[in-house]
Structure 1
Amino acid sequence: MIPVAKPQIDEAEIQAVTEVLRSGMIAQGQRVADFEAAFAEYTGTEHAIAVNSGTAALHAALLAHGIGKGDEVITSSFSFIATANSILYTGARPVFSDIEHETYNLDPDQIAEKITGKTKAIMPVHLYGHPADMKAIREIAEDHKLTLIEDACQAHGAKYNGKKVGSFGTGAFSFYPTKNMTTSEGGIITTNNAEVAEKARMIRAHGSSQRYLHEMLGFNLRMTDICAAIGLVQLGKLDDYTAKRQYNAKRLTEGLQDIEGISCPTIKEGCEHVFHQYTICSSERDKLAEYLNQNGVGTGIHYPITIHRQPLYQELGYTDTLSESEKASREVLSLPVHPQLTESEIDTIIDNIRQWSEDK
């Protein structure tokens, strides 16, 4: 079976972890500080605050901006549920806006109608590694004096007009094992706002800026030096990983773009897609997925149920009609694109989809 995702860990990461274990300093220490500095430099931001998951990064970023009970945050329903749940954790209410057909990211033309007197932030998702339309979305945020928080959990290194995501507002990244780079589990907040950075650091450490002095309600969201050691190695490989993902995506598109009924990923002008997922679209998605799985090609559906249709959100009273989001949930199918794919495996993926198309 060709896996749809495959973490890349080799001797460099193992050696880095071994060094931390032997040092005796395995909680949040110098490796975390080094990783934060390196990631801030990589994203072109002044501050990076490492935490223990991408969800924690979203949650802490919202809290650091003062988002709380009674507030509304506009975001996408076509995402992993952590996007919206992180808003609920603060006591605020997610407000869902529909997506663009081409990129599966928030459609800027539909955001303004969702803004109310309670709206405090917009949280675009750079889904699958394709940047959202940050020029348009940032203009909306500035015009309405709204906080801009980027869910960049799938978009490490993606660029919009030459600028890396996570640097337009306050960014949140995930380092889950199947992401474009990993720390085994972890996340990070990026920001150019010193006050937000300081609040985020306090939130991750029980509301403390110095030991045993607790100035606000916080949590234990800290990253370990073990995770940061892996992250430092992985960050050094990220550009090479990205180039391989982009190459694999190009090969897949070249082999699939002329097949009737299959829509390949779109890359908008000025955007650099880092292909956390290579996601095609087909009205016969489930039949195609079954065929591929039976023939040794792993697939994924990201995501089969929009967030506002999840049982939790139905219980909360969400009744939105989001036509593009709901259509995408019925038709998207992610194919293997990870850096460890071989040329032969890419050919196998293409050949199987072409055969399925000819046989149906």
Structure 2
Amino acid sequence: MSEPSSIPFIDLQAQRAHLGGRVEAAIARVLDHGQFIMGPEVAAFEKELAAFAGARHAVSCANGTEALVMALMAWGIGPGDAVLVPSFSFIATAECAVLVGATPVFVDVLPDTFDIDAAGLDGAVAAAQEMGLHPRAVIPVDLFGLPADHAAVAAAAARHGLLVLDDAAQGFGGSLNNRRVGAFGHAAATSFFPAKPLGCYGDGGAVLTDDDDLAELLKSIRVHGKGADKYDNVRPGLNARLDTLQAAVLLEKLAVFPEELEARQRVAERYTAALADCAETPAGRAGARSAWAQYTILVDDREKVMAACKAAGVPTQVYYPIPMHAQTGYARYPQAPGGCPVSESLARRVLSLPMHPYLAADDQDRVIAAVRGAL
């Protein structure tokens, strides 16, 4: 008996088919006008992106990591400063602090929503100060698409004079109390990596903010710290521009993004209804709407479930098998008092299932059957 065909974990070709040639036409327009760097599509996309998120400014850049780095650079964060980050996230959340010379301080996350535990921020600030560091910023993460507890983070940040940089790489498209992700914090950084809810056909990112001065600084930093022109360099910067081709792709994808978010919600609701009695399904938050970058369950025997899914042609992924504070290159950095035991537990139990807007009902059934069969 032949093995069953595998379901795509994320189906970009189905999205391309749905767009019906619009992306190809947008790319062709860029090829025709030939403005491959900072062409008109870049400014158009920034305008549409800011309007979608409800932010005054969107400054595009080359990728999500550089979006985080650019914000920290613009704020002058560097050696001697501490940046508080959740340990359960992709490494870029801490890497950005290291890249500007600052020290990441790892904070544990909540066991149900997987986002930073705001109750741990006071202790993290105290720990940083005891080490002689100056706490400057906190980076909450809208992990797997669910907006973080931004009110609690903002309250803790206000107590300690911290800047808030929302890592919205996975959460862009989500909302909290009718306010879209991208409009929280002093700034928000997002990614357009192809697998993200709003993804391009390569790398891309953006910083969103209501701060006019910050936006101008970011525009300078992304082009080598330019002043009046690119040969008048008034500060250290980066080569971090978004390609015009990627902006053209993103403009077309942004147009269908709202309907895709609704489709993701329908898939998530169907998964939850079918799996809640046999697995720990994703928790929500009052007033929150997830972008469903991932649909992540918690299981005790992950290897068993993964093997059963693989045999059924159902791909799975583990985000993330090692919390950041346990990574080889980051184990030397401080943690909040009490460490990060929840992050360590989640790393052993999380399992992400196929999730995209074009996941057909029969493929959803295969996913559900495979997981239920294993559990």
Question: Shorter-chain TM-score category?
Answer: over 0.9
> How far is the alpha carbon of 1:108 from its aligned partner?
1.2
Q: For 1:18, which of 28, 37, 40 is the aligned residue?
A: 28
Q: Does 1:157 align with 2:162?
A: no
Q: For 1:145, which of 161, 170, 193 is the aligned residue?
A: 161
Q: Does 1:129 align with 2:145?
A: yes
Q: For 1:243, which of 256, 262, 265 is the aligned residue?
A: 262
Q: What's the CA shift string for 1:269-317, capped at 9, x where partnerless?
A: 1111110000000011122112101210011100001111111113x35
Task: Identify the range of structure 1 (57-66 vs 170-179) with the bigger mean alpha-carbon deviation.
Answer: 57-66
1:31 counterpart SS class: helix
Letter in 2 for 1:140: A
Tell me the C-alpha RMSD between the 2 structures.
1.2
Q: Distance in 1 between matches of 2:176 and 2:122?
A: 21
Q: For 1:331, which of 345, 349, 361 is the aligned residue?
A: 349
Q: Does 1:34 align with 2:44?
A: yes
Q: Distance in 1 between matches of 2:123 and 2:111?
A: 19
Q: What's the CA shift string for 1:48-90, capped at 9, x where partnerless?
A: 1000100110110111112111100111111111111011011
Q: Distance in 1 between matches of 2:148 and 2:333?
A: 28
Q: Does 1:71 align with 2:81?
A: yes
Per the alignment, residue 328 of structure 2 pairs with 311
CA contact (8 A) 1:4 1:334 kept: no
Q: Distance in 2 between matches of 1:127 and 1:352?
A: 25
Q: What's the CA shift string for 1:166-215, capped at 9, x where partnerless?
A: 21220001000110011222000000111111111111000003321100
Per the alignment, residue 234 of structure 1 pairs with 253
1:235 counterpart SS class: helix
Q: Does 1:252 align with 2:257?
A: no
2:49 counterpart SS class: helix
Q: Distance in 1 between matches of 2:73 and 2:121?
A: 22
> How far is the alpha carbon of 1:242 from its aligned partner?
0.6
Q: What's the CA shift string for 1:217-254, capped at 9, x where partnerless?
A: 01100011101000111111111111111100000011
Q: For 2:182, which of 156, 162, 166 is the aligned residue?
A: 166
Q: What's the CA shift string for 1:14-59, capped at 9, x where partnerless?
A: 1101110111111112110111111011111111100010011011
Q: Distance in 2 between matches of 1:156 and 1:236?
A: 14
Q: What's the CA shift string for 1:103-148, capped at 9, x where partnerless?
A: 0000111111111441100100000000100111111112211100
Q: For 1:2, which of 4, 7, 11 is the aligned residue?
A: 7
Q: For 1:201, which of 219, 223, 239 is the aligned residue?
A: 219
Q: For 2:136, which of 120, 137, 153 is the aligned residue?
A: 120
CA contact (8 A) 2:115 2:142 kept: yes
CA contact (8 A) 2:83 2:102 kept: yes
> How far is the alpha carbon of 1:3 from its aligned partner?
2.0
| Structure 1: 5+ residue stretches without partners | none
Q: For 1:218, which of 223, 237, 244 is the aligned residue?
A: 237
Q: Compute the TM-score of the two structures, normalised by the length of structure 1.
A: 0.96
Letter in 2 for 1:26: F
> How far is the alpha carbon of 1:319 from its aligned partner?
6.9
Q: Does 1:84 align with 2:84?
A: no
2:322 counterpart SS class: coil
Change (3 A) 1:155 1:353: same
Q: Compute the TM-score of the two structures, normalised by the length of structure 2.
A: 0.92
1:91 counterpart SS class: coil
Per the alignment, residue 350 of structure 1 pairs with 368
Q: Does 1:322 align with 2:322?
A: no
CA contact (8 A) 1:159 1:272 kept: yes
Q: Distance in 2 between matches of 1:174 and 1:279?
A: 20
Q: Does 1:110 align with 2:115?
A: no
Q: Distance in 2 between matches of 1:317 and 1:229?
A: 40
Q: For 1:187, which of 205, 230, 234 is the aligned residue?
A: 205
Q: Does 1:97 align with 2:97?
A: no
CA contact (8 A) 2:280 2:298 kept: yes
Q: Distance in 1 between matches of 2:228 and 2:137?
A: 30
1:18 counterpart SS class: helix
2:16 counterpart SS class: coil
1:85 counterpart SS class: helix
**What percent of counterpart residues are identical?**
36
